[in-house]
C-alpha cells in the first residue's frame, strides 16, 4: 500500500495505558478516532515497560484491520532518559557525538546505560543538544510488534520531544519552563531563545500541582539561566488542583483546544480519552 493511502496509527505508550489515535486514509479519509486502552498488570507508580509492550502486542493483534497502517509510537517519559550534551568543536561527526552522549548517560546512570539505544538531534551546531535513551530491548520489542501486526513502524519518539515539536512555536519568552505532566512523573525543559538550557525529570507522589512549584523553586536557586524565566508552559491532563499553584510566573496551559475535542474540527474524542487529551494532541 502506498504511504499516502495507508491508515495512520499513533500510540502513546504509558505504564498504565495506551493512548491510541487512528486516522483512516484512502479516497475518502475519515475523521480521527481516539481511545484509551488500560494496561493489565501495571501497578501504581510502576515505570516498567514490559506490561505496556504486552498490551501493545495484544491490541495490535486484536485489530487486524490495521494491517498496512503507518505506525508511530510515542513513549512516556517514564520509559526514556534524557541528557543535555554540551556542544564540542572537537567532535567531527554524529558517531563521535553519540559516544560523548553515552558517556554522559553512563556518568549519571552507571553501567546500565551501555544497553540503551541513544538518539539525538544535531540541528543546531554550537548549542547543547538533547540526547534521549531507552532500553534497547524495548526498541526491539516495538519493532517486533510492528512486524507481527503487519504495520509499518515509521517513528519512535519520546513524549517530551514529540510535545516540544508540537508546541515550540508557542514559546515566546527569552527563557521559559516547558513541563509535561504524567501520572507519577514531571519532565521539564528550561528553554532559552532557540536553545536548550536544562532538562529535568521529577518523580511525583501524586499531587503534582503542589510538588511542581517546589521543584521549580529549587531549580531557580541553581541558576542555570541568567535571563529571568518569563513563563511556565504546562502540558497537563487537566487543570485540576492548579488553582492553588503559586509559581511566581505566568502559567500557560497547552493543548486546551485539543482537550475539548475540537482541533480544527477533525477529532472525535471518546469520553475516556478526555483526561489525557492534552497528551493526545501531540500525536493527533
Digit-by-digit pLDDT tens for the chain (284 residues) are 445 577 899 999 999 999 999 888 655 555 668 889 999 876 554 558 999 999 999 999 999 999 999 999 999 999 999 999 999 888 888 899 999 999 999 999 999 999 999 999 887 888 899 999 999 999 999 999 999 999 999 999 999 999 999 999 999 899 999 999 998 999 999 999 888 999 999 998 878 888 898 888 888 877 656 678 899 999 987 665 566 567 678 888 887 655 554 444 344 444 444 455 445 666 66
What is the reported pLDDT for 272?
Answer: 45
What is the reported pLDDT for 44?
Answer: 53
What is the reported pLDDT for 28?
Answer: 56
H-run or E-run covering 278: helix 277-280
Are the C-beta atoms of 179 and 171 separated by less than 8 Å?
no
Query: Helix or strand or coil: residue 219?
Result: helix
At 271, list the grid cell: 469520553
Estimate the crossing angle of helix 136-149 against helix 50-61, to 10 degrees: 10
Burial class, 213, CB count within 10 angstroms (exposed 0-12 / middle 13-18 / buried 19+) = middle
d(CA 55, CA 259) in angstroms, rounded, equals 25
Are the C-beta atoms of 68 and 152 separated by less than 8 Å?
yes
What is the reported pLDDT for 265?
Answer: 37
What is the reported pLDDT for 274?
Answer: 47
Amino acid at each position: 500500500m502506498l504511504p499516502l493511502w495507508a491508515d495512520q496509527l499513533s500510540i502513546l505508550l504509558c505504564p498504565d495505558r495506551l493512548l491510541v489515535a487512528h486516522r483512516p486514509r484512502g479516497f475518502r479519509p475519515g475523521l480521527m478516532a481516539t481511545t484509551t486502552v488500560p494496561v493489565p498488570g501495571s501497578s501504581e507508580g510502576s515505570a516498567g515497560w514490559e506490561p505496556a509492550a504486552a498490551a501493545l502486542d495484544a491490541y495490535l493483534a486484536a485489530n487486524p484491520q490495521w494491517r498496512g497502517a503507518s505506525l508511530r509510537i510515542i513513549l512516556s517519559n517514564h520509559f526514556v532518559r534524557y541528557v543535555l550534551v554540551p556542544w564540542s568543536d572537537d567532535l567531527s561527526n554524529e558517531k563521535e557525538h553519540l559516544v560523548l552522549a553515552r558517556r554522559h548517560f553512563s556518568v549519571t546512570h552507571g553501567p546500565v546505560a551501555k544497553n540503551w539505544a541513544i538518539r539525538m538531534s544535531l540541528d543546531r551546531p554550537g548549542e547543547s543538544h538533547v540526547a534521549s535513551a531507552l532500553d534497547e530491548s524495548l526498541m526491539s520489542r516495538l519493532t517486533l510488534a510492528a512486524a507481527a501486526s503487519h504495520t509499518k513502524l515509521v517513528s519512535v519518539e519520546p513524549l517530551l520531544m514529540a510535545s516540544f515539536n508540537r508546541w515550540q512555536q508557542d514559546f515566546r519568552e527569552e527563557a521559559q519552563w516547558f513541563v509535561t505532566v504524567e501520572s507519577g512523573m514531571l519532565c521539564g525543559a528550561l528553554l532559552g531563545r532557540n536553545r536548550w538550557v536544562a532538562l529535568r525529570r521529577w518523580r511525583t507522589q501524586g499531587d503534582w500541582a503542589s510538588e511542581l512549584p517546589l521543584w521549580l523553586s529549587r531549580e531557580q536557586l541553581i541558576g542555570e539561566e541568567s535571563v529571568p524565566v518569563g513563563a511556565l508552559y504546562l502540558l497537563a491532563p487537566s487543570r485540576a488542583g492548579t488553582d492553588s499553584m503559586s509559581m511566581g510566573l505566568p502559567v500557560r496551559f497547552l493543548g486546551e483546544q485539543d482537550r475539548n475535542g475540537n482541533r480544527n474540527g477533525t477529532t472525535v474524542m471518546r469520553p475516556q480519552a478526555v483526561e489525557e487529551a492534552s497528551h493526545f494532541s501531540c500525536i493527533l
